[in-house]
Every structure is written in C-alpha cells, then in structure tokens.
Structure 1
C-alpha cells in the first residue's frame, strides 16, 4: 500500500509545472490569504460542491458549499529552500486567528490541517494538504464557504407558524459577541412587526438563545441583551412595548448538537413566543 501511495504522490508532483514562471492562466489567489513566497498556482477551480473535511484522526464531515481549490507549486528556481508543511500551516493559522477563527485539526504526518472561521456571514472551512513531503513546499488549499443560517419569511408565514406552534425560531445576525443587530437582519425585524400589526391583540415574549461557546453566565447575559435588542427594534417599528417582553436562556435550551458548527448555528437564535 505504501508503494502505491508513494507512486500516486510522485505522479502528482511530476504533473506540477514546477519550472513555470507564471500562474496557470485564469487562476488567482483567494482574497482571504496572502501567497506563500516563491509559489506558483498550478491548478485552480471554483464551484458549488461537497467536500469531506477532516476534523479528527480518521474522521471527517462532508459539507457542501462554494469550494475554491488552489494547488500551489514551489518554484525551485528561486534559489530559496522550500518551506516545511509546518511553516505553511503556521502562516495560514496566524491569518485565520486574526479573523477570529481557529485550528480544528492538524496531522503533520498525514500532511493535513483544517481551520474554521467566518466571513461575511458565511461559515468558512479551510483545509491544507501537503502534496509530497514536509519540505517540498507544494500544497493544496481548499476553501469551502457555507452560507450562514438564512431566513426569508413574510409576515403571513410568521403568523401562521406562531398560531400553529406557539413559537418560531428566527436567525438574526448580530455583531460577534455583541447584541447589535446587523443591517441584513432588519428585514426579519420588519416582518415580525408587520405580523404584530396584523393582530393587535397578540402579545409575545422575545427569547434569546446561544450555543455553548463561552461560559454559561456570559451566554445568559448575551442572550438577554440580544433579546432586548430585538424587542427594542420592534418598539422602534411602532409596536407598543406593553405587548412585548424579553428573556435570555443562554445555552440551556439547545435545538441541535453543539459539537458541530451547523448545530451551533441552529442554537444561536431568537425565538418569538406567543403569550
């Protein structure tokens, strides 16, 4: 088996145009990262696809989204020794940490590193794969961008759902770690206000929920503040404050598994509960 793997890797390395002095036409770096010095793009692609993301030893999670693939070849004619895979990983790790992201998995022997971050409301997974050994400088960059929890709902849908179920979960985007509502979520606030105006007798409780990142005490405070922000936004939309109340549950009532990023996204919500 080792001979087969070595032959496969060798074939990949041979296929890389290491003597080229320019990137393959039509290819460019991701705007998320600066290029490693003395590297050239040998192959690239970008499309909607599914991708098995390594998250632990012998474990991966298949996700789908917009996948950017870039294969970098080290320019051996530069006269500078190629960086180790560890050095490449540290460079990307430093860049991702600055965005508030984190390293999820690293296996030096297998030549794999996985990172997670967020960008423009999207979950972003980044996977680095060593092409052919620790000190040859050739590697693959995979970036999978997954749309965050999106909600496009109108007032009549809200009214039907809340009358049927007694509550509805809304995915409102806030500033990270804060209770400031992002502009893209103002449409949802407007729809809730319109629903309340269509039924003047309805009273609701605005209830905040978080995932389990951070301490329980901090999450409870954050959920309370976010619920109050939504309530105040509804008051600004013309809803009488006597019809509204707010509450924060923190991380105590998860809807999904907090061990996955998708589960955490579902748990970060504001529920509108009919009183």
Structure 2
C-alpha cells in the first residue's frame, strides 16, 4: 500500500509541471505579436476598459486609458532561457517592423523594460514589456474613450434645460466620419423622447458638434447630418412630434474642451439640445 502511494505521488509529481505549463484558460497572444519560443502564458487579463501608467522617460509617465491586456509569460522547464535584453529587443524590433516606435527603454535591478507606441488606422496602442531571463510580462492599452454606460435621464435633461437653456448629450454614438446612429444610442434617444412627451410645449434645436479632425466644411456637414439623424430617429422610431425639433450643425465651432487631447476631442463630439 505504501509503495502504491509513493508511486502515485511520484506520478503526480511528474505530471503537475506539465499541466502547470499549459497556457492559461482562454488566453492567447496579442494580435500584434507572437511570443518568445519556449514560453507559456501563466496569467491572462483582458479588461474592457482600464488605465495604465506608461513610463516615457526618467520619472515621467503618461496615463493611458482604454481596452487593457495583461499577459504574464514563463519559460517552460528544460528550455534555454534568453536574456531579458534579448526578449525586449525581439519586441522592439517587431514593433518597428509594423510602423511603431520605441518611446523609452531602461534597466531596473536586472530587469529590462521598454515602452512602445503604435499609431495606425486612427488608433493608438501603447505597450510596456518587462523582462528577466525566465519571465516577461506585456501590458497593452488600446487607447479609447470609455463607452458611456450611464446616460442622463429625462428629468436631469429637463433640469439642465430649465437652468441653462441647453443640455449636452454624450450617449449618442456614430462611427468615425459617419452619421448613422449606432444601436448603443437607443437608451439616450428614449430619454429624449420621454423629455419631449412629458412637456409637449417644449421645442428644441438638436445641435451636432464635432472635434477639429478633418476640414471645416466636412465637419459642418457631418454635424448637421448627425443632428438630422437624431431628429429622424426621434420622430420615426420614438413617436416625437416633428414640429418640436429643428436640426442644426455647429461643426467644430463651439468646443467645450481642448482639441489637443483625445479626451478633449471626445467631449467636443456631442449632441446638444437647445431650447428654442
């Protein structure tokens, strides 16, 4: 019995490292990189929206928000370990080949570190790689403004209109450069319809606003097209009286924040309801 137990324990001892060195469940390499040979994914975190502080030089950092990916790689047993520098160089070379840039590299207590950035298709992707001989990690943030899940309700819209004559609405979504409403806009449209049905005498200008990306004329047209799309949806899908609404496009002429940052541009892309 004792021999059988010892044999079983030895068998388990031989199997466990193999099991432990399989990739974590539902994990995968990031779309922009393969992995170093001989490594497996020990931990994998895919978060819809998060924030990471990327080191950009000396003690300077830049906080980036968006879709977050964290991958922790470990070397399999009996594999020849590469140096931390070799790991980092592989990733910086791969980033350069796809048009990215190395922002900053540094050594810290024997570890090799690098911050990189790729700007492609109107999107920024930031990458941080930390590497030692048998382990390295990657933090990736695909920079984007957070989807607004909490929308202003009809009563808060009415309060703002009564106090200031207008309300900025951020729960209305379009694809870049387009005026077709996205399905995520429905909850906000429902609240606007509720606002107008609660106060049938209320008449509103629906005013479209853009950031300063693109030409002035194109943005004026886009903002008006988007305002018309909102009016059309409220009338045709939510039973609002067409006589209560007038569409207008202000383009980039009335920003509420700087256009020098992505956060500011996101605030400037909005629809406002202005009391007639």
TM-score under structure 1 length normalisation:
0.69
1:14-35 CA deviation, whole Å, 9 max, x = no partner?
xxxxxx9945645722675563
- Compute the displacement of 1:256 (Å): 1.3
Match of 1:245 in 2: 246
Task: Note closer, same or farther for the CA distance 1:188–1:27 as it changes in structure 2 (3 Å cut).
Answer: closer
Q: 2 CA distance for matches of 1:54 and 1:117?
A: 21
Over aligned residues, Cα RMSD in angstroms?
4.0
Q: Secondary structure at the match of 2:213?
A: coil
Unaligned 5+ segments in structure 2 are 1-18, 107-113
1:78-110 CA deviation, whole Å, 9 max, x = no partner?
9x997733332146x57xxxxxxxx6x633655
Of residues 98, 106, 113, the one that matches 2:102 is 106
Contact 1:54 1:114 in 2 (8 A): no
Match of 2:178 in 1: 178
Q: 2 CA distance for matches of 1:88 and 1:49?
A: 25
Larger radius of gyration: 2
Q: Secondary structure at the match of 1:249?
A: strand
Q: Secondary structure at the match of 1:112?
A: strand
Task: Note closer, same or farther for the CA distance 1:159–1:31 as it changes in structure 2 (3 Å cut).
Answer: farther
TM-score under structure 2 length normalisation:
0.69
- Once the two structures are superposed, the pairs formed by residues 217-228 of structure 1 within 5 Å of their partners are 217-228=217-228
Task: Note closer, same or farther for the CA distance 1:89–1:274 as it changes in structure 2 (3 Å cut).
Answer: same
Task: Note closer, same or farther for the CA distance 1:41–1:260 as it changes in structure 2 (3 Å cut).
Answer: same
1:131-159 CA deviation, whole Å, 9 max, x = no partner?
36xxx998532134763234422222221
Match of 2:151 in 1: 152
Unaligned 5+ segments in structure 1 are 1-19, 95-102
Match of 1:259 in 2: 260
Contact 2:92 2:102 in 1 (8 A): no
Task: Note closer, same or farther for the CA distance 1:117–1:56 as it changes in structure 2 (3 Å cut).
Answer: farther
Q: 2 CA distance for matches of 1:57 and 1:248?
A: 45
Q: Secondary structure at the match of 1:140?
A: strand
- Once the two structures are superposed, the pairs formed by residues 45-56 of structure 1 within 5 Å of their partners are 45=45, 50-54=51-55
Contact 2:207 2:271 in 1 (8 A): yes
Q: 1 CA distance for matches of 2:141 and 2:105?
A: 23
- Once the two structures are superposed, the pairs formed by residues 36-51 of structure 1 within 5 Å of their partners are 36=35, 38=37, 39-45=39-45, 50-51=51-52
Indicate yes or no: 2:87 matched with 1:87.
no
Q: Secondary structure at the match of 1:202?
A: coil
Contact 1:211 1:265 in 2 (8 A): yes
- Once the two structures are superposed, the pairs formed by residues 16-165 of structure 1 within 5 Å of their partners are 22-23=21-22, 25=24, 28-29=27-28, 35-36=34-35, 38=37, 39-45=39-45, 50-54=51-55, 59-63=60-64, 67-72=68-73, 77=79, 84-90=90-96, 93=98, 106-107=102-103, 109=105, 111-115=114-118, 126-129=126-129, 131=131, 140-144=137-141, 147-165=146-164
Contact 2:115 2:129 in 1 (8 A): yes
Task: Note closer, same or farther for the CA distance 1:175–1:77 as it changes in structure 2 (3 Å cut).
Answer: same
Contact 1:149 1:266 in 2 (8 A): no
Q: 2 CA distance for matches of 1:165 and 1:211?
A: 23
